[in-house]
Amino acid sequence: MISSETKHMQNYINGKWVDAKSGKQEVIPNPATGETIATVTISDVEDVDMAVAAAKEVFPEWSDTPVPNRTRYLLDYWKLLQDNKQELAKIITLENGKSLRDAQGEVQRGIEVVELATSTPSMMMGDALPSIAKGIDGSIWRYPLGVVAGITPFNFPMMVPLWMFPLAIACGNTFVLKTSERTPILAERLVELFYEAGFPKGVLNLVHGGKEVVNRFLTHPDIEAISFVGSEPVAKHVYQTGTAHGKRVQALAGAKNHAVVMPDCDMEKTIQGVIGAAFGSSGERCMACSVVAVVDDIADEFLEQLVKETNKLRVGDGMDDANFIGPVIRESHKERVLRYIDSGVEEGAHLLVDGRKIKEDTPDGYYVGATIFDHVTQEMKIWQDEIFAPVLSVVRVSDLEEGIQVTNQSKFANGAVIYTNSGKSAQQFRNRIDAGMIGVNVNVPAPMAFFSFAGNKASFYGDLGTNGKDGVQFYTRKKVVTERWF
């Protein structure tokens, strides 16, 4: 039901909150209760064109603003985000469903990217070499690209947009952001605080909507580069179409992250780590642990304790600290997950913990409990596909060699973790595993903002990841100057 209390999310174009010209809107439910909490305007080509025009108009002035002045606005933005941490975390839990503790973690990780972007003056510096020949100097200079577009997923409404626009804008670009139409509320707050920090209008524009907005970005002649984060099929489409239209594209995609558990691991810490990585944020993380390859020698003991600890997890509204697992994002996603659990049973995996049965009273939200399958094989869909839910598959392997081989057969290669006390095993794992982000006794090996973030294989389309030095390179183009003066 849409009541007068329901918030309405609009686009932000050239310093004004406006509805999409289409007049279309979608309803946003609270995934914990099913109740309508907001409506969001749904944009079309015309709205994108207006936002890009606003960003293009302000680009000459913004790119000409001295780099230290540009980043000084970010210091104020950083402070505003800090001052509003609690409110931001609550919005994330409200619209996404993850527990408040997970949401607070996300807010912190987002703020850390703003911190990174405040060092743009150092990071954007070029190189110079005097006297490359008699009387000739050589140097490299970095310049912004122009208008950049960002497209983000529902699962990190704060952190992922902040991977993009603070650094892009500090580098002198102007930006059009399209966050997930399923989580538009936090996006509004990010934009409000951005302008409270004093940025000139038009530098950041927000356009709500779905694939019509994305597809216009991909062909728009005035968009120079696109940062995308989302599922694999869409990432591939964005990369292929965007690059075919001459744009620079980084497209971070889906995942199926594996952990290899060695007999010499610290059993208790490993179990707590796997539980956090597999079931935290309801498994809706691109770095979630979704497969554990456990070495036979300890498999029975590991599973016995894993099941015992998993059965203690409470499921329910993320606003209540007692609940570890919140809802998944939508009813349709819940149904998809339940179909995967059914398929795992049909394919012959052993269902040790059944998330279809939830002990707590959770009437109208979109809940799936923690689920563990044992004896999973690579032929099963539950091993192959990204389920994006608190569903963990366990594969039994004879040794590290087989654990590495199994992991590398996944089409995805975002993150991978080894639990061991052997430096030799960790070294072998690091050298031979395909994944772009590796953890050694670290449960969710998401790099800090000063390192770059990206996977390999079908988890990433592009060359330069987000954040760190990669981020600065992605948002700038180089000019190499060879100069002689008479």
Rounded to the nearest 5 degrees, what angle is found at the Cα of 467, between the Cα atoms of 461 and 468? 120
Distance in Å, CB of 260 to ligand NAD, minimum:
20
Please check if 178 is assigned to a binding site.
yes
Cβ pair 8, 39 in contact under 8 A = yes
Structure tokens at 15: 């310093």
Give me Rg for the CA atoms of the chain.
23
Q: Which listed range, 19-27, 110-118, 206-214, 299-307, lies at the site for ligand NAD (CB under 6 A)? A: 206-214
Please check if 181 is assigned to a binding site.
yes
Is residue 434 a contact residue for ligand NAD (CB under 6 A)? no
Find the binding residues for ligand NAD in span 97-136 (CB under 6 A).
Answer: none
Structure tokens at 260: 């290899």
Distance in Å, CB of 375 to ligand NAD, minimum:
25
Is residue 186 a contact residue for ligand NAD (CB under 6 A)? no
Binding ligand NAD (rule: CB under 6 A), the pick from 255, 292, 380, 472 is 255
Catalytic residue among 171, 265, 286, 289: 286
Is residue 151 a contact residue for ligand NAD (CB under 6 A)? yes
Binding ligand NAD (rule: CB under 6 A), the pick from 145, 229, 349, 444 is 229
Cβ pair 249, 236 in contact under 8 A = no
Distance, CA of 132 to CA of 135 (rounded, Å): 8
Distance in Å, CB of 163 to ligand NAD, minimum:
8
Is residue 96 a contact residue for ligand NAD (CB under 6 A)? no
DSSP lists the bridge partners of residue 396 as: 294
| Amino acid letter, residue 484 | R
Distance in Å, CB of 327 to ligand NAD, minimum:
15
Please check if 154 is assigned to a binding site.
yes
For residues 389 to 428, the per-residue mask of contacts with ligand NAD, x marking binding by CB under 6 A and - elsewhere, is -------------------------x--------------
Is residue 153 a contact residue for ligand NAD (CB under 6 A)? yes
Distance in Å, CB of 90 to ligand NAD, minimum:
21
Cβ pair 182, 209 in contact under 8 A = no
Rounded to the nearest 5 degrees, what angle is found at the Cα of 350, between the Cα atoms of 346 and 354? 85
Is residue 387 a contact residue for ligand NAD (CB under 6 A)? no
Structure tokens at 23: 């007049």
| Amino acid letter, residue 433 | I
Is residue 173 a contact residue for ligand NAD (CB under 6 A)? no
Distance, CA of 261 to CA of 365 (rounded, Å): 34
Is residue 459 a contact residue for ligand NAD (CB under 6 A)? yes
Chain position whose Cβ is nearest to ligand NAD: 230
Q: Give the max Cα distance, the chain.
A: 83
Binding ligand NAD (rule: CB under 6 A), the pick from 253, 278, 380, 458 is 253
* Element holding 475 (H helix, E strand): none
Q: How many CA atoms lie within 13 A of 407 on its CB side?
A: 33
For residue 484, CA distances in Å to 88, 138, 142 come to: 54, 9, 20
Q: Which listed range, 34-42, 48-56, 231-239, 242-250, lies at the site for ligand NAD (CB under 6 A)? A: 231-239
Is residue 180 a contact residue for ligand NAD (CB under 6 A)? yes
CB atoms within 10 A of CB 131: 9
Find the binding residues for ligand NAD in span 283-312 (CB under 6 A).
Answer: 286
Is residue 95 a contact residue for ligand NAD (CB under 6 A)? no
Cβ pair 453, 437 in contact under 8 A = yes
Lateral strand order in the sheet of 7-9: 7-9, 36-41, 25-29
Torsion angle, CA of 414/420/426/429, rounded to 10 degrees? Answer: -50
Bridge-based pairing state of the strands 391-397 and 415-419: unpaired
CB atoms within 10 A of CB 337: 23
Distance in Å, CB of 173 to ligand NAD, minimum:
20
CB nearer to ligand NAD: give 231 or 305: 231
Tell me whether residue 171 is one of the annotated catalytic residues: no
First to last CA, the chain: 76
Is residue 25 a contact residue for ligand NAD (CB under 6 A)? no
Q: Which residue has the tokens 């954007």?
A: 124
Is residue 155 a contact residue for ligand NAD (CB under 6 A)? yes
Distance, CA of 291 to CA of 306 (rounded, Å): 13
Binding ligand NAD (rule: CB under 6 A), the pick from 81, 234, 275, 380 is 234
CB nearer to ligand NAD: give 78 or 154: 154
Is residue 47 a contact residue for ligand NAD (CB under 6 A)? no
Is residue 48 a contact residue for ligand NAD (CB under 6 A)? no
CB nearer to ligand NAD: give 155 or 410: 155
Identify each DSSP E strand in 305-431 by its residue range: 350-353, 371-374, 391-397, 412-413, 415-419
Is residue 51 a contact residue for ligand NAD (CB under 6 A)? no
Residues that bind ligand NAD (CB under 6 A): 151-156, 160, 178, 180-181, 210-211, 214, 229-231, 234, 237, 252-255, 286, 386, 388, 414, 455, 459
- Detail the residues annotated as belonging to a binding site: 154, 178, 181-182, 386
Q: So which residues are the catalytic ones?
A: 286
Binding residues for NAD(+): 154, 178, 181-182, 386
